[in-house]
Amino acid sequence: MKKLTLKELNRVSVADFQSMEKSPVVLVLDNIRSALNVGSAFRTGDAFAVEKVMLCGITAQPPHREILKTAIGATASVSWEYHEDTLAAITQLKGQGYQLVAVEQAAGSKTLEDFSFLEENKYALIFGNEVTGVAQPVMDVVDHCIEIPQFGTKHSLNISVSIGVVLWEFIRNRKPAQ
């Protein structure tokens, strides 16, 4: 099996990416401590053509050396906004018709494979701080909470891994309303 060269991958230009139709999903980063994780969110957001990334609270913003290191250019292709207050940011998204979905371990959460991403809905996927998770005031107003099943001793995934897992499931399993 021959690996493809960068030229053979036929990547779209940044300008073409910015004008193409996006997946109806926004990534909301709630007080993320690691700028490397933020850069990974941009890179994964580019891979799955998300509408935008919302950076909230203490979350670092481009241009930041560590974001740029892991984003490898995705800060130029993926739209982003900074909001000091996560609750205000998601309230704005709710007003624009987004379903607010926290990715968190919580009472009443659904496992990722049991959650239905409906084709007619837009989603805001909220990922929380590496230590404390999604803030409780944010959890108090979300529409849904989903959890990635885990079977080891840690019951914790790095946020960049969580974003990749959830976005893949979103793209793979969007369903028409019943």
The mean pLDDT value for 85-106 works out to 98
- Ordered by where they begin, the domains of the chain are 21-173 (3.40.1280.10)
State the Cα angle at 130 between 125 and 135, rounded to 5°.
60
Give the integer Cα–Cα distance in Å for 70 and 133.
22
Residue 138's H or E segment, with its range, is: helix 136-139
Is the pTM value of this prediction over 0.75? yes
The burial of 162, by beta-carbon neighbours within 10 Å (0-12 exposed, 13-18 middle, 19 or more buried), is given as: buried
When pLDDT is cut at 50, 70 and 90, the band that residue 178 belongs to is low
- What digits encode the pLDDT tens for the residues 122-151? 999 999 999 999 999 999 999 999 999 999
Residues 86-101 have a mean pLDDT of 98
